[in-house]
């Protein structure tokens, strides 16, 4: 085997090595993207579940049994959060009980997720946060995990309606 053939063989081996390294890099990147997608889908599912749990509850503590005709009778934002006697989310009776409520979900084998909720009144004209009671509340859920790159944020607007 001559020098020329040896150089061609070395060059071919270098090209093959570069191709193998490039393929491995692409495979690892694809696996990372797939894993992040799985975590993201699970986080979206957890956020949707939290929103569905909250929307089945009463709009406000004061609307649980009686219809209201004035926003002055609604709970003030400073009083949002878990009411006395409510130890777990299963005992919540209105949407604002979920305000600043955080729980950790470690039941899934893939990752541990932290789920936090926030409730706030909205101004009906421009849909910005309000410090006084209105007939509209925004319910926002944040799902994060150390296994995810980003936090999933989902929200919904709920309004109080009473039909006679």
Residue 154 CB: number of other CB atoms within 10 A?
16
pLDDT one-digit tens code per residue, 80-95: 988 888 878 888 989 9
User: What is the model's pTM?
Assistant: 0.79
Tokens for 149, please give them: 């790159």
User: What average pLDDT does this structure show over 106-133?
Assistant: 89
User: What average pLDDT does this structure show over 42-66?
Assistant: 90
Smallest CA-to-CA distance from 132 within 82, 69, 80 is with 80
106: three-class secondary structure by DSSP: coil
For tokens 């893939």, the residue is 110
Positive/negative CA dihedral, 34, 40, 41, 42:
positive
Tokens for 13, please give them: 């081996």
Tokens for 16, please give them: 């093959």
What backbone phi and psi angles, to 5 degrees, belong to 113? -115, 140
The residue extents of the domains of the chain are: 3-159
pLDDT of residue 24: 82
pLDDT of residue 8: 86
Give the number of residues written for the chain. Answer: 164
Exposure string of 13-32, with b = 16+ CB inside 10 Å and e = fewer, is: eeeeeeeeeeeeeeeeeeee
pLDDT of residue 61: 87
As a whole number of angstroms, the distance between CA 95 and CA 60 comes to: 6
């Amino acid at each position: 085997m001559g020098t020329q053939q040896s150089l061609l063989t070395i060059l071919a081996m270098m090209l093959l090595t570069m191709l193998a390294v490039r393929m491995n890099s692409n495979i690892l990147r694809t696996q990372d993207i797939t894993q992040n997608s799985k975590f993201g889908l699970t986080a979206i599912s957890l956020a949707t579940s939290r929103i569905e749990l909250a929307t089945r509850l009463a709009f406000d503590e004061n609307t649980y049994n009686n219809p209201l005709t004035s926003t002055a009778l609604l709970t003030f934002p400073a009083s949002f959060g878990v009411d006395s006697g409510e130890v777990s989310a299963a005992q919540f009776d209105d949407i604002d009980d979920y305000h600043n409520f955080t729980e950790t979900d470690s039941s899934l084998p893939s990752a541990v997720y932290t789920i936090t909720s926030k409730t706030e009144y909205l101004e009906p004209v421009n849909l910005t946060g309000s410090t006084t009671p209105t007939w509209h509340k925004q319910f926002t859920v944040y799902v994060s995990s150390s296994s995810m790159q980003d936090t999933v944020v989902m929200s919904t607007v709920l309004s109080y309606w009473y039909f006679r």
